[in-house]
Amino acid sequence: MSAVRLSYSSSSSLTRVGAGFLPSASRRAVSQFALPFHSLRRPPTSFGAVAASLRPSPLAAIYLRVFQRAGGRAFSSSAGRVAGMRCAASDPAQLRSAREDIRELLKTKFCHPILIRLGWHDAGTFDKNIEEWPQRGGANGSLRYDIELNHAANAGLVNALKLLQPIKDKYSDITYADLFQLASATAVEEAGGPKIPMRYGRVDVTGPEQCPDEGKLPAAGPPSPADHLREVFYRMGLNDKEIVALSGAHTLGRSRPERSGWGKPETKYTKDGPGAPGGQSWTVQWLKFDNSYFKDVKEQKDQDLLVLPTDAVLFEDPSFKVYAEKYAEDQDAFFKDYAEAHAKLSNLGAKFDPPEGISIDDDAKGAVPEPFQAAKYSSRKKELSETMKQKIREEYEAIGGSPDKPLRSNYFLNIMIVVAVLALLTSLLGN
């Protein structure tokens, strides 16, 4: 990542803020020095940092040049870091490009379900009772290490990692933790699911010794499914509503007996793919994100569709059932709760750099500007006093007008102004 970006994407609002009013040549020159937003947020601690903390503008460019000439610490383009200043964990421009690559991957490989499962299994190891990072587990990229990939619950997820690795190699300034969550959220959205309010900037663990212990993820057939789900998901800080909403992700994908031990080797819905054929799906259209999971689990009519004990319990436990019934009836309600729960899941245990995270969605895009209303910005609506109204009326009348009618044009004054301007012009031209 270049801390001082040599060309910033034209869609960057920063470049627009800094140089929007300039002719294109100057704009290009200014944009050469547009600083990535995320690198500018820490409190400045030195002259160089003060210069860098200026919002992108011609002034920022000049300050930076002066600082560099004055022998300030050089910007390391190879390491992509400003010496003495740390950048965010992932680069927003690269995250956006990677999202495009993930969309292409989904179109050719139909790997939406396994990418969602990858993101969930990286995050789902979180333990809210452990304060320290990364001991607390969660969305920290630890699932890239063999030791964790080899946990029984993660059988098959090595295939998801293999699909994403070329994208990781292409974008050196995206962390695994972010890439897993980006891939998962993008897969939900591309399958027709809700937009997930994601943020990025997750820091990666740095070694296999930082992986969580085995056994943090839920089992599909425990003796008491409701108790088990609560034990596991409460440990993550999630509640009953979130357990049910997130289980709705099984509207996508298949279970394969050779991986998890659950499901049929193939059904009429899976024998031809798309993607690698086989397995048993929870729904008929298992690449379409909708609320059919709740309808199908409720009915349990089709022998070719899977219902795990932890799926069935959603319609048995009185508290889970409230949500499961609601989602079977109302897809909008499911989408809303799913999007919130997925975003929360994706942040579990994550350490963000910058701490507030990075958004890669252009919120301003398509937004209709609100008409300006001065009254909206006044602290209180207050009627003018009668004395004040009278005073204003008197002032208007003194110059021949009235607050109720437009002021009559003062022809004499207009002529005087024209004469004065002409006189000024004549004297300037004479000189």
Catalog residues that contact ligand HEM under the rule CB under 6 A: 113-114, 116-117, 120, 156, 218, 220, 229, 246-247, 249-250, 252-256, 259-260, 262, 308, 310
Is the Cβ of residue 218 or residue 401 nearer to ligand HEM in the bound state?
Answer: 218
Q: Are 327 and 334 in contact (CB under 8 A)?
A: yes
Nearest approach, Cβ of residue 377 and ligand HEM (Å): 43
Is the Cβ of residue 54 or residue 276 nearer to ligand HEM in the bound state?
Answer: 276
Name the closest residue to ligand HEM (Cβ). 253
The whole-angstrom separation of Cα 355 and Cα 347 is 12
Question: Which among 121, 151, 250, 342 is annotated as catalytic?
Answer: 121
Determine the residue type at 118.
L
Angle formed by the axes of helices 112-123 and 176-190, nearest 10°: 140
The whole-angstrom separation of Cα 429 and Cα 431 is 5
Measuring CA to CA, which residue among 12, 177, 1 is closest to residue 88?
Answer: 1
Determine the residue type at 386.
E
Is the Cβ of residue 52 or residue 249 nearer to ligand HEM in the bound state?
Answer: 249
Nearest approach, Cβ of residue 260 and ligand HEM (Å): 3
121 among known catalytic residues: yes
The whole-angstrom separation of Cα 247 and Cα 115 is 15
Torsion of CA 41, 47, 48, 51, to 10 degrees: 60
Measuring CA to CA, which residue among 281, 275, 247, 111 is closest to residue 183?
Answer: 111
Nearest approach, Cβ of residue 264 and ligand HEM (Å): 11
Is the Cβ of residue 31 or residue 142 nearer to ligand HEM in the bound state?
Answer: 142
Nearest approach, Cβ of residue 156 and ligand HEM (Å): 5
Nearest approach, Cβ of residue 100 and ligand HEM (Å): 22
Is the Cβ of residue 15 or residue 181 nearer to ligand HEM in the bound state?
Answer: 181
Coil vs helix vs strand at 254: strand
The token pair that represents 6 in the structure block: 């040599």
Is the Cβ of residue 99 or residue 254 nearer to ligand HEM in the bound state?
Answer: 254
The whole-angstrom separation of Cα 58 and Cα 60 is 5
The whole-angstrom separation of Cα 407 and Cα 20 is 38
The residue with tokens 């740095």 is 206
Is the Cβ of residue 35 or residue 345 nearer to ligand HEM in the bound state?
Answer: 345
The whole-angstrom separation of Cα 197 and Cα 375 is 32
Q: Are 85 and 49 in contact (CB under 8 A)?
A: yes
* DSSP codes joined into one string, 344-380: HHHHTTPPBSSTT-B--S-TTTTPPPPPP-HHHHSSS
Nearest approach, Cβ of residue 106 and ligand HEM (Å): 13
Nearest approach, Cβ of residue 176 and ligand HEM (Å): 18
Catalytic sites, residue numbers: 121
